[in-house]
Amino acid sequence: MKHSDRTFSIKGIENEADLVEVMTGHKWPLCQAFDYGGFLFLNDGDTESKPEYVAFKIDHLENTLAIGKEVGKIEPLGMELLQVKRFIQELSQGQWEIESPLKVMVEPEWHHTCEFCRFEED
């Protein structure tokens, strides 16, 4: 993971179709992460226009510190929706690309603000 120093804003996702849609159909702040099926999908991109997500398997939480492992990466821009769906399904089945220990800071979306998403008044 390139940006493990970020504090991520966590948005819960209800189902796989919604996760595919939010990953492929929108631009998000660089601090955005999605919680689905025991995984966090952390925006590890360098720009909002080219999202990259790290799939993070949560082992446990200690307040705002999520401890687990990085198990995959995906750059959904330009991918077929079925490819993104297959990636998510393979993770759910335990088919991981990598398994690298990782700790990241996370906050619920309603409590989060940082330099990536903060509204700045003129």
Question: Where in the chain are the domains?
Answer: 7-111
Cβ–Cβ < 8 Å for 22, 13: yes
Parallel, antiparallel, or unpaired for β 7-12 and 32-36? parallel
Q: What is the pTM of this model?
A: 0.88
pLDDT at position 121: 40
pLDDT at position 83: 95
Distance CA 40, CA 37 (A): 8
pLDDT (tens digit per residue) in 50-87: 899 999 999 999 989 999 999 999 999 888 999 999 99
- Which of left, alpha, beta for 27 (phi over 0: left; psi -120 to 50: alpha)? beta
Parallel, antiparallel, or unpaired for β 65-74 and 7-12? unpaired
With CA atoms as reference, report the closest residue to 101 among 63, 52, 62, 60: 60
Percent of the chain exceeding pLDDT 70 equals 92
